[in-house]
Structure 1
Amino acid sequence: MVIRYDAPLNLLVSTKGHPFDTPAFFGMFDDMRGMTWTHVEQPATTALMSPEGASDFDALLFYDVPGLQFKTPKPPLLIEPSETFKTGFRGLLDAGKPMIFLHHAVAGWPLWDEYAEAIGTRFFYQPGTYKGRDYPDSGYLFPVEFTMTPEGDHPVTKGLEGGFTLTDELYLMDMLEDDIVPLLRADYAFEQDNFYSAANALNARMWTRDGWSHGPGTNLIAWAKKAGNAPTVTILCGNDASTYGDANFRSLLRNAIDWVTSDAAADWARAA
């Protein structure tokens, strides 16, 4: 692999905490022209989470699940980020550092509400709380075929106006913040009877929903959000190689990278 020091855009890609097809995933970024990327794993990522540490990167892409240590069939060990990380992450948002949260990254740092607030949602592996309100564990379903249709006109969905179909993983979960810009919605019934309990799965009972109660969830698959002064995009699909190789998904992800690093996105995020 060539180190492209002269690339006009440098993306930091953070992983670890959830299994994935590494050659297919990284191959997706290798195929993106006009940019370079650098991979770092948790917990080493935390050392770069400050305006100074991330100064060489134009945007940060999170495909990780920090703050959890899975101990199936027992509940996961939940770990709160250090004060150094919290201060650094807040500093990145204040500085307007563009961020993208991909698929299982929405489950990261479950003990720190500010992280979920930056994203707009959280996947709960077990029942938990957010800003003092109790939530049930979230739901999952894969593989499932669904069609995504853009909502409104936005640079992130450019070229995808007719929608597209994927076979990927879906989550049953709630939006926790309402100040988001919807980008894509899925034509699927986000109801309890169509999903399985994440907490049951961690108790070695995959594909079950007994004892679980969850209301209807959001059908949003992608959205944009201002987090501090930073433009962010969250994309919930991205489970496996079939998605990484899909031309429409690649266009969506590249659009998101190009938009969050644009002057227009920076101006939008900093606007009062």
Structure 2
Amino acid sequence: MSDETELGNTDRKTADRLEVLLITGGHAFDREPFLAAWQSDHGLHVTHLEHPSATDAIADGSAAEYDAVVFYDMPGVDPRGPAKPTRLPPGVQEGFGELTRRGVGLVFLHHALASWPAWEGYAELVGGRYHFWPGSLRGIDWPDSGYLHDTQHDVTVVASDHPVTRGVQSTFSIRDELYLFALLEDSITPLVTSDFDFRSENFYSTGRAMLGHKFDREGWTHPKGSNLVGWVREQDRSRIVYIQPGDGVGSYGDPNIRALWFNGVRWAARRT
């Protein structure tokens, strides 16, 4: 693979070192502090890869050579003008199938929920979907999703005995972005919740933002959302983790966020 950067433990490969592929691209982020956070766990050898090279790695099967893949990306959306889905590149769907058949651990962070919106199978894999525009999921019509930047809220662990929440405070406060979106609650196991009120009057319309009307909800409503902001599930042989908190430079150094991230990688890779 080209355009890759090695982070963290660069010693020679050992039996207890986890090989992790960290994928970004398609969404802006504070690059240096985010990558520094992923350098801080010396039990991980992290290879950072951006799209479109990361798309190729999924499609050609090379991503399946890792113990775990972490997604902090948002591919599959045409950024020119109002957002619209792009056709799934050849091999991507098959590549994700190869990941789950091999049992590669999959960890999805924050805006990765919004990736590959033209493919419903991706929403089933992650456990939900962020809609840029009104759409259908499992035959149910949904409006475009909602967002709210820079919001102070409390996160509470609801699965204190799960390996992903080990070492995480039972309740901690964070300033972060929140989403109002379609959640597939019947196929996930909850980990953490937020005390925020997930009603449309507290969020802004993504569809309006795509038309140039940021921080606007005129004419927009959305069903009341779940307060779940982190969960796990399994598909084929893969363990899957989604963690919504932890977007933005202010949260990258939070020990609770890092614990959720790194525990998530180890649990997904079956190294707890």
TM-score (structure 1 length as normaliser): 0.91
Pairing 1:256–2:254 present: no
Q: Report what 1:89 is aligned to.
A: 96
Deviation of 1:132 (Å)? 3.0
Is contact 2:61–2:98 with CA below 8 Å preserved after alignment? no
Q: Which amino acid aligns with 2:21?
A: L
- Structure 1 spans left out of the alignment, 5+ residues: 265-272
Q: 2:175 & 2:155 partners in 1: Cα distance?
A: 11
**Equivalent position to 2:18, from 9, 15, 25:** 9
SS of residue paired to 1:109: coil
Q: Are 1:117 and 2:117 an aligned pair? A: no
**Per-residue CA shift, 1:112-146, capped at 9, x if unaligned?**
01111000101111111223322100101111111
**Could you say which residue in structure 2 is the equivalent of 1:150?**
157
Identity of aligned residues (%): 37
Written as runs of structure 1 = structure 2, the 5 A alignment for 1:139-218 is 139-152=146-159, 153-218=161-226
* Distance in 2 between residues matched to 1:225 and 1:59, nearest whole Å: 15
SS in 1 for 2:42: coil
Which residue of structure 1 aligns with residue 228 of structure 2? 220
How far apart are residue 49 of structure 1 and its match? 1.5
- 1:51/1:91 contact within 8 Å kept: no
Spell out structure 1 runs of 4+ moving beyond 2 A.
Answer: 1-7
TM-score normalised by structure 2 residue count = 0.91
Q: Give deviations 1:180-206, integer Å, cap 9, x for gaps.
A: 110000011000111100111111111
Q: Aligned ranges for residues 14-29 of structure 1 at < 5 Å?
A: 14-29=23-38
TM-fit CA distance, 1:52: 4.2
Change (3 A) 1:177 1:83: farther
For the Cα contact (< 8 Å) 2:189–2:233, is it kept in 1?
A: yes
Equivalent in 57, 63, 84 of residue 54 of structure 1? 63
CA–CA separation in structure 1 for the residues paired with 2:67 and 2:111: 22
| Residue ranges of structure 2 left out of the alignment (5+ in a row) | 1-6
Contact in 1 for aligned 2:147/2:206 (Cα 8 Å): yes
Does the 8 Å contact 1:147/1:186 carry over to 2?
yes
Tell me the C-alpha RMSD between the 2 structures.
Answer: 1.7
* Alpha-carbon distance between aligned partners in 2 of 1:234 and 1:204, rounded to the nearest angstrom: 29
CA distance in structure 1 between the partners assigned to 2:116 and 2:69 by the alignment: 16
Quote the Cα distance in structure 2 between the aligned partners of 1:151 and 1:141.
Answer: 23
3-state secondary structure, aligned to 1:75: coil
Is the 2:59–2:93 Cα contact (8 Å) retained in structure 1?
Answer: no
The equivalent of 1:63 in structure 2 is 72
Shift of 1:83: 3.8
